[in-house]
Each structure stands twice: as structure tokens, then as C-alpha cells.
Structure 1
Amino acid sequence: MKYFLKLNVVSMLYALMFFVPMQLMLNVYRINRLTNWDIDTISTVTWIYAAIEMIGGTIALYYLTKKWLNGRNANYWAIVLWFLYLVLFTYVVASLFPMTNGGDDPNPVAGLFLIGGLIVYPFYIFIISSVGSAREEEPIQKTAIHS
């Protein structure tokens, strides 16, 4: 049961790593309207945040996978579970913060980036799960031969 909970926490973290930049990218016009920041500034901050999150998140999830998930083949369920949590997070945010202003609709190019991200992200999870789950081989101990 502990393993199941750890696997779900790791899957939630994978979903959050995708969800937060996705929301920032889709809500550029809403952020512009609410904060009066320039759209170029918001886009730059979004890309910088996404890069920092990918680097930090990759390191953190690698260590969590290595420490919590102990090299089991069930780690690969995270490739499916993250998407379920992404749908859940998206539904909750869309329910709590509906689009009330027509000018807040995202541009079509953001959708193309998201489609590309949704295609590539499972491979990213697979790589982290594979590398984090790899068992370290024990060093061969040299034994002294006594005559």
C-alpha cells in the first residue's frame, strides 16, 4: 500500500510539472489583463519558469524514483497515471476559474505546443523512470587466495 501511495505522489508531481507551465502558457492574456504586465514579459517569465522547473523537477523526480520506487517494473504506471492527474488538475482549475472574458482565450499556437508536449512527455517520464529504477550493481569483491 505504501508503494501505491508513493507511485501516485510521484505521478502527481509529474502532472504538476506539466500543468503549471501549461496554465501559464494558456493564460497569458488573463495574466496580462490582471497584472498589466507586457505580454512579452509574461512569455519570457513563463519560459524561464518552465526551464527552471524542468531542470529542478527532473533532478527531484530522479531522486524520488530512486529512493521511493526501488527499481520495480510498476514504476512505469506513472506514464499513464500522470495524465489522469493532469486531467483532474485541469478540471479543478477550469471549474474554479472559468473564462469569463472572451479576450482571455489562448492563441492557437499554444495548443500546438501543448500537443507536442503531450506527445513527448510520456517518453520523458519513461527515461526518468528507467534511469531512476536502474539497480546499481554491487562491486565485485576481490578475495585473497590463501595457499
Structure 2
Amino acid sequence: MSFFGKLNVVSALYAFVLFIAIELMLNVYRIARVTGWELEIVTKAGIAIYIIGFIFSTALFIIITKKWMEARNAIFWSTLLWVPYFVLFIFTFATLFPINNPGDEPNPGVGLLIIGALLFYPVYLLFINVFGSGLGITEDENTI
């Protein structure tokens, strides 16, 4: 696979992980209604999925970056290329699964959390790309 293809696959993977986290956050009431679970159980399960997913996806992103991205400066485009994929995932999900039950509407405060996640995510991806590629790490012979 070419570097361009690998870059787009990695960017789509970045977008998919954030998409899953945001959709879990937005659809807590729908998940509780469909599964029949209490809202507290769905919320605690969501938090556990966020923590486990964050740890797993960070490790996966670093491994993929080391293996596929070849320590090129062009990998930093992935900090922006995830946005079109993210919009595509959100649009597709909203089209296929519209909210028909008014009780499934998300809490208005979730929007603030999503804005914070969208602002933090490019910084997170930048750190992943720096640590995964080794481009931002310089070795000095005189340091201990």
C-alpha cells in the first residue's frame, strides 16, 4: 500500500475512534431504552469503555504510526485528515439511525463535552504522531 493510502487509513481510524466515543456519549438514553438497563449502569459502562478504549487506542495508534508512517513529516497531515472522515461517519450514523423518540435526545451539557473533545483531539493526535514516529525526539550525546 502506498504512503498516501496508509495515511488515509490511519486518519479514518483516528476519526472512527472519536466517532465511537462521541456516539456513546450522545446515545446513553437510547442505549438504556433499547437494552432495558438502568441509566446508571449504561453510564458506568460508558465510562469503562472510554477508559479502556483510550488506553487501547493510544497503544494501537503508536504501534501503527511506528509501523506504517515511516518517520516522515507528512504524517502530521493525519492531525487534520481525520476531520472529513469524522464528518462522514457522523452524517452516515445520523442518517441511518435518526432520533425518533423525544426521550432519546441527548442532554444539552453533552455538547460542551463534545466541543472539548474536538478541541483536545488534534493535540492528542499530534502527541501520538510525535511519539510514534520519533520525529520530535532528538538525542544529544552529552545528556545523561
**Do the two structures share a fold, i.e. TM-score over 0.5?**
yes
- Match in the other structure for 1:144: none
TM-score using structure 2 length = 0.91
Structure 1: 5+ residue runs without aligned partners?
A: 141-147
Q: How far apart, CA to CA, are the structure 2 residues paired with 1:42 and 1:83?
A: 28
- Match in the other structure for 1:41: 41
Matches within 5 A, 1:96-115: 96-115=96-115
Q: Percent identity?
A: 45
Q: Does 1:67 align with 2:95?
A: no
TM-fit CA distance, 1:18? 0.7
Considering only CA atoms, is the larger Rg found in Structure 1 or Structure 2? 1
Q: How far apart, CA to CA, are the structure 2 residues paired with 1:114 and 1:37?
A: 24
Q: Does 1:86 align with 2:109?
A: no
- Match in the other structure for 2:9: 9
The one-letter code of the counterpart of 1:118 is L
TM-fit CA distance, 1:137? 8.1
1:10-54 deviation digits (Å, cap 9, x = unpaired): 111111111111101100111111111111111111111011111
- Match in the other structure for 1:24: 24
Alignment RMSD: 1.7
Between the two proteins, the alignment pairs up a number of residues equal to 139
TM-fit CA distance, 1:102? 1.1
Structure 2: 5+ residue runs without aligned partners?
A: none
- Match in the other structure for 1:76: 76
TM-fit CA distance, 1:84? 1.2
Structure 1: which 4+ aligned runs deviate by more than 3 Å? 135-138
